Amino acid sequence: MLWDHYVFRRGNGVHDLWDSLLRNRSVSLLYIAGRGFDVRAQTVMSEFVTGQLGSQRLTANAKLLLLSIDGYELDDDVRQLTEENASSLERTFSLLGNTEIATISAPDGDEETSPSDALRQRVEAVLAEVDGKTDIVLDVSSLPRATYLALLTSILRKLVPNKKIVPNAVHPLYANGVNFQVLVAEDAKLDGEIRAEDPSIDLVTVPGFVTAWHAESVQDWPLVWFPVLGENRVNQLQKVIDSAHIPYEAEVCPVLPHPSKDPRRADNLLVEYRAPLFDSRKTPTANILYAHESHPFEAYRQLLGAMRRYLDSMMIMGGCRLVMTPLGSKLITIGAGLACFEMRPSDLHANYGVAIPHAEPKRYVVSVESLRRSTPEISALVLTGEAYGSAG
């Protein structure tokens, strides 16, 4: 397990973490954020920038890469909020460095770029900026799920090309000392209030996790599906089912948020997903996995453990496909992403594979009041770098 020991802080602990991580050294920073409507990104950036401007902090150079994702249908007030949010982010970051806006239009029906291809191009644009940086910050607060999962896993693949832990050698997560941290402004209640509608006809497959989903040669392998459930995403789950890639004999293991601030949250989700998961397929309830709502490494452990167990059992059948669909809140999704990264085989001829299909919505519906009222808690996950500098 790569993150057997991990660095995760939330609330006030995040500042202590930044202090110990960034103090008394020259920082070459790449800060990646979304140019979206979610104002929680402002909270995260303002906290980070304030800290970095403090004493004993030295910024050699800093760049904000603001990913603009067009093509979404938003109400006028939410669209206006997106603009305000972007201006505020640029203004806040200007105290540290420049901003570059990376625009890739979301394709519509007539275009020659599929959503997955557009996502691949987006990731390529980000990866081109990674070289030479000492610190990479990925703020997922206002990024769509598929985008931040793709960025998370592909940056990790670039920084950690070899995942094998060798005793008495440098831990793979040291990654030449490049500190890669993921910041999240989490408010699970608000995540549940953001309604995703008009799902795209085409599924997005997260780049790097395509083979197990599409390759004809692996279609006869048994499939284990881990849908990570979240509120108001039944239609997206249905799109994945309708894609006919989930065969009738698939093992379906829904991942539910539990423990949670709302102790009934998992129950409510079971009711919400009753029709596609339990009425039409009668998924055994013993297959349900529980992951801590606000502890991504706990979700990572749960999912990774389950994936390994299924892999062990299924190898006797000649191979196995592990499929994860991210519909849950941000922290759980990140944990699930880490598990997928670790499980993804590096060998071309491995007889198993991991896939992350997702149905991206084209319209988000959310009350501006709810967004403004949100009081998120900031969480920071340090995934690579000096924190893992000792031998494994």
Partner 1 sequence: MAYNSNPFLERMSERTTSDMEFVRLFSPKILEKLAEDAFEGAVHVFRSAPGAGKTTLLRAFTPPALRAFWNSRHRPDLSESFRKLVARGVLTDEGSHQFLGVFLSCASGYADLPSNVSSQQEGVFRALLDCRIVLRTLRSLGALLGFSTQEQLGDILLGYELLPQLQGIPNFESALELSLWAEEHERRVYAQLDAFMGPPDGELPTHVRFEGVLWLQSIQFYHEGRLIAPKRLLMVDDMHKLRRKQRTMLIDELTVMRPSIPVWLAERTVALGEELLSQGAREGRDLREYSLDDMWTGSKGLSQFTAYAQNILDRRMLSQDMVAVTSFTQCLRNELVNSDARTQITAGIRLFREMAERHKSNQRYIQWLARAEQYIAEQSIESMLELYVTRILLVRDESKRQLTLEMMLTEEELEERDSSQLRAAAELFMHEELGVPYYFGFERLCVMATNNVEELLALAAALYVGLQSKQVLRKDELILSPYEQEKLLRDVAAGKRDFIPKTHTEGTRAQRLLDSIGEFCYDQTFVPNAPYAPGVTGVRLSRAELAKLTAPSQPLGPTGVMLKRVLAECVAENLLVQRESQATGSRDSGTVFYLNRSLCVHYGLPLQMGGWRDISVGELMKWMERRLTLPRKSLEIN
Shorter beta-carbon distance to partner 1: residue 222 or 296: 222
Shortest gap between Cβ of 248 and partner 1 (angstroms)? Answer: 5
What's the min distance (Å) between Cβ of 27 and partner 1? 25
CA distance 390 to 376: 33
Structure token pair of residue 83: 């603009």
**Please, which residue, 8 or 225, has the CB nearer to partner 1?**
225
Could you please report the per-residue DSSP string of 101-160? Answer: EEEEEPP-TTSS--HHHHHHHHHHHHHTTTTT-SEEEEE-TTS-HHHHHHHHHHHHHHH-
Indicate the pairing of strand 195-199 with strand 361-365: antiparallel
Q: Which of 107, 392 has the CB closer to partner 1?
A: 107
Nearest CB to partner 1, comparing residues 157 and 189: 157
We find the least distance from the C-beta atom of residue 159 to partner 1, in angstroms, to be: 12
- Interface contacts to partner 1, rule CB under 8 A: 73, 109-110, 112-114, 116-117, 120-121, 123-124, 127, 154, 157-158, 197-202, 205, 207-211, 213-217, 220, 234-235, 238-239, 242-252, 275, 278-284, 348-349, 362-363
* Beta strands at 289-291 and 377-384: parallel, antiparallel or unpaired: unpaired
Angle between helices 115-127 and 145-159 (to 10 degrees): 40
Q: Given the complex with partner 1, which of 84 and 108 has the nearer CB atom?
A: 108
Work out how close the CB of 155 gets to partner 1 at its nearest, in angstroms, rounded to a whole number.
Answer: 11
Q: How far is the CB of 360 from partner 1 (least distance, A)?
A: 11
* Residue closer to partner 1, measured from CB, 22 or 104: 104
Cβ 267 to partner 1, closest distance in Å?
Answer: 19
Place of tokens 């699930």: 336
Distance CA 270, CA 272 (A): 5
Give CA–CA dist 304/369, Å, rounded: 38
